[in-house]
Structure 1
Amino acid sequence: MTENFEEITSERLREIAATEQMWNNELRKYVASALDRLSTALIVVGFFGPAINVMTNPSVFQQDSIFWLMMRFIAMVLCGMLSFGLHTRGKLILKRGVS
């Protein structure tokens, strides 16, 4: 009777470990995809938005001061760098897991 109980317990432990591994894998995929979506939104809003605004409205160069043009350029660069960082972090989470 004890051997049968030990077999049932070890089988149940393997099932729990397999379920936990599947849950961890799904959590990794969820977090990585959320970071990737955030990086995509950031690059669209923070980089392509101002770039398209300048391309479609060239009078921005005449109306805005140098200070605001430099701030816009710095914001575009920072958004691009942050987007790249978020995308890279998502890839690392897929490889190593959430930590």
Structure 2
Amino acid sequence: MRCTLPALTIVLLSACTANLPDIDSTISKSARNADYPALQPLPDLIARSEAGSTIVVQTEILEGRVARLKARARALKGRSIIDGATRLRLLNAVKDRPV
């Protein structure tokens, strides 16, 4: 019994690695022969990242839009969207409706 558990574990683990894909064939020859990318100085990268990235700009645009929409909603709150004559006509139509 002591020998069967380690043997079973080895057999099960070896079954997991039977069909590994060939990764080496997925890299093109030009990519293999290409030079390493040029390293950039870290202070320059930090300065560029803090200089108004597109995410920051888009966030500011969206925040402005949200603020304008909320102000518009506050202005419309409590206001009637139909005029008095239309409201009266609707109320009369509801009263005259058979139940």
TM-score by length of structure 2 reads 0.35
Q: Report which of the two structures shows the higher radius of gyration computed on alpha carbons.
A: 2
Greater relative contact order, per chain length (Cα 8 Å cut-off, separation 6+): 1
TM-score by length of structure 1 reads 0.35
